[in-house]
Structure 1
Amino acid sequence: MHGSIITLLKRYVQTQYDHSTWVKLMELSGLDTVVFDHKTVYPDEHMYALVGHAAEMTGIPAGELHEKFGEYLVPDLMYMYQKMVKPEWKTLDMIEHTEQTMHKQVRLEHTQNMPPVLNVTRLGANELVIDYVSPRRMGGLAVGIVRGLATYFDESDLIDVQPTTSEDGERVRIHVRRSSL
């Protein structure tokens, strides 16, 4: 898992809860001696442990926590990749172009970076299907990012996001539809 995602997870926990919650998560995960930086790639198990213990502490299922975190990530992701985003893009356009823009760049920056593969099929001007493929099994994060994009582009009241398969699988299908104005 890329360090930038883990450092954003730290900030998410600190803003949604507090710093002591983050410290407790690090201790429970056996990571209390690890100092995460945004440029290093860490074992995926670190993220699994942190989210798993967060689920235990909060009583919120891990998939739901992934979704909430995904929504939270969007403004930072959009800031990091703003130069790749065309001004006319909205939610569906952003999703459609993520694989060939942002994910391509992430893979080029460091060979250990492995963002999920997003096979996007545009079904029409207001509808698409995402086939998320990743051994990380974090489809909930993808669902949250889609919802976060809708909020970012001020379309949250127009965008319907429906996972049509289990969000914790290696392959997750997500149906996204924008209602007409």
Structure 2
Amino acid sequence: MHGTIFTLLKRYVQTQYDHSTWIQLLENADLTAADFDHKHVYPDEHLYRLVGEAATMTGLSADELHEKFGEYLVPDLMYMYQKLLRPEWTTLDMLEHTESTMHKQVRQENAGNTPPVLHVTRISPDELFIDYVSARRMSALAVGIVRGVARYYDEAESIEVEPTTSENGEQVRIRVRRIR
């Protein structure tokens, strides 16, 4: 997992809770703040441990935490990859082009970067399916990112996001549609 994700996770925990919660989370996961630098790639296990400990500390499920964190990530991701975005895009357009723009760029930056593979099928101008494929089994993070993208494009009230298969699988289908 790219170090930027850990940097943003730290900021998320500090803004939603506080700095001492981040320190406690690291201690509970047997990690230290020195373990993360935004320029490196780290074992996925680190994120699993952090999210697992956060679930224990908050009483929320790991999937709920992944979704909330996914939503939180979007403004930073859009800022980082703004040069790849087209001004005329809507939520569905951006999702349709994520794999060929942002994920392509992420993979080119470092061979160790392995974002999930997203196979997007546009069903109509108002609907698409995202087939999420990743051994990480973090499709709840993807669901949160989709919701965050809808909020970014000021379409949160009109975009419905629905996983149509188990969110714990390596292959998950997510239905996204404009409802009004």
- The residue number in structure 2 matching 1:80 is 80
Q: Structure 2 CA distance, aligned partners of 1:65 and 1:165?
A: 19
What aligned pairs does 1:145-164 form with structure 2 within 5 A after superposition? 145-164=145-164
Helix, strand or coil: the match of 1:131?
Answer: strand
Distance in 2, Cα, partners of 1:24 & 1:33? 11
Distance 1:83 1:121 in 2: 24
- Cα displacement string for residues 62-98 of structure 1 (whole angstroms, at most 9, x for unaligned residues): 0010000000000000000000000000100010000
> Which residue does the alignment assign to 2:56?
56
- 1:99-118 to 2 correspondence within 5 Å? 99-118=99-118
Aligned length: 180
* Cα distance in 2 between the residues matched to 1:116 and 1:78: 17
Sort the Cα spacing of 1:139 and 1:21 in 2 relative to 1 into closer, same or farther, 3 A.
Answer: same
Residue 24 of structure 2 aligns with which residue?
24
Judged with a 3 Å threshold, the aligned counterparts in structure 2 of structure 1 residues 91 and 33 are, in CA distance, closer, same or farther, namely: closer
Cross-structure match for 1:36:
36
**Poorly superposed stretches of 4+, deviation over 3 Å:** none
- Unaligned 5+ residue runs, structure 1? none
Shift of 1:178: 0.4
Same amino acid, percent of matched pairs = 71
Q: Secondary structure at the match of 1:105?
A: helix
The root-mean-square deviation of aligned C-alpha atoms, in Å, is 0.8
Q: Given residue 156 of structure 2, which amino acid in structure 1 is its aligned partner?
A: S
For 1:138 and 1:9, the matched residues in 2 are separated by 15
Structure 2 CA distance, aligned partners of 1:34 and 1:82? 29
Q: What residue number does 1:178 align with?
A: 178
The aligned counterpart of 1:98 is 98
Aligned equivalents of 2:68 and 2:41: distance in 1? 22
- Kindly provide the amino acid, as one letter, of the partner of residue 3 in structure 2: G
Quick one: distance in 2 between partners of 1:136 and 1:6? Answer: 15
Secondary structure, aligned partner of 1:38? coil
- Deviations along 1:133-155, one digit per CA (max 9) or x if unpaired, are 00000000000000000000000
Letter in 2 for 1:70: G
Residue 176 of structure 2 aligns with an amino acid whose one-letter code is V
Residue 37 of structure 1 deviates from its aligned partner by 1.2
- CA distance in 2: counterparts of 1:26 and 1:35, whole angstroms: 10
2-structure distance, mates of 1:101, 1:75: 17
Q: Distance in 2 between matches of 1:17 and 1:41?
A: 26
Letter in 2 for 1:76: D
Deviates more, 1:126-135 or 1:171-180: 171-180
Moved more, 115-124 or 162-171: 162-171
CA distance in 1: counterparts of 2:157 and 2:99, whole angstroms: 25
